[in-house]
Amino acid sequence: MNYRHAFHAGNFADVLKHIVLTRILVHLKAKETPFRVIDTHAGTGLYNLEADEARRTGEWREGIALVGDKPPPARVAELIAPWYQLCQGLMAQSPPLYPGSPWLAADLTRDQDRLVFCEKHPEDGARLKGNFTRGKRVKVMEGDAWSLLPGLLPPPERRGLVFIDPPFEEENEFRTIAEGLTQAMRRWATGTYAVWYPIKGMREVEAFARRVAGLPAGRILRFELSRYAVQRIDRLNGCGMIILNPPWKLDEDLRAVGDYLAPLFAKEGGGFLRLDWLKHEEKK
């Protein structure tokens, strides 16, 4: 499976992952102290929806476009507003643009917060640097995320998010993520980690969830959206995110958002939401 960002910008998976990112950043900003965001597979940061890659798939029409066609109820509209208002402004331009996770993180953080964006693909890395040429609070690093990440942890701020959105080009991507998380948690066990993954076959997803559940995080939240009533391994049936050490009450935000997104993105009688805890220690 090739999930290079430019081909899928603004699709249903982007909508889910970027709303989750938005809610985590909003919760982190509730405290005045600075925090750090590390995006391990950053892509280019900004995507032209009229470019060849986006035109070839047109996936944004069944993603971000549906949010415009079927607006959410007031509670959900409030929760997604920081993301959606940014999208509206960029998509109103000519050509229309969609913000990737780096652009969203830069827009939603403050002067005291710091951002590190990692990208392995040389062409995408060059574009990413071009999109963030000004400002001392953003650092772009080219190279393999799992080789770079240990040197970035723990961050000086001791507070923040590691956002993990791999392209899933390798057969053993789930194992690579689990091993990378294990090493990262040894260096920074109190950080928030948010991992996106595709849902094709459930066997490997469940195996991944079981392995992540054993990591030394106090709380681990699992959030998934399945689009089809009948799953087939030859297509993207849905996607999910696992969040280690999520901000308090993030699960309540995602329940409201998920109840809106599941029927919005449903195909062939599907549209199923999963939101549960792999590990839940009550906050004292």
State the pairing for strand pair 46-48/138-142: unpaired
The one-letter amino acid at 19: I
Length of the chain: 284
Q: Measured between alpha carbons, how far is 23 from 250 in angstroms, rounded to an integer?
A: 7
60 CB burial (10 A radius; 0-12, 13-18, 19+): buried
Q: Which of 39, 113, 124, 165 is catalytic?
A: 165
Cβ atoms of 248 and 45 within 8 Å: the answer is: no
Q: Measured between alpha carbons, how far is 223 from 220 in angstroms, rounded to an integer?
A: 10
Q: Within the chain, how many helices (H) and strands (E) appear?
A: 10, 10
Triad 116, 7, 200: Cα angle to 5°: 90
In this structure, what is the dihedral angle of CA atoms 188, 205, 21, 155, given to the nearest 10 degrees?
10
**165 belongs to the catalytic site:** yes
3-state per-residue secondary structure call for 58-76: CHHHHCHHHHHHCCCCHHH
- DSSP calls for 233-252: TTS--EEEEEEESPPTTHHH
Query: Which residues are known catalytic residues?
Result: 165
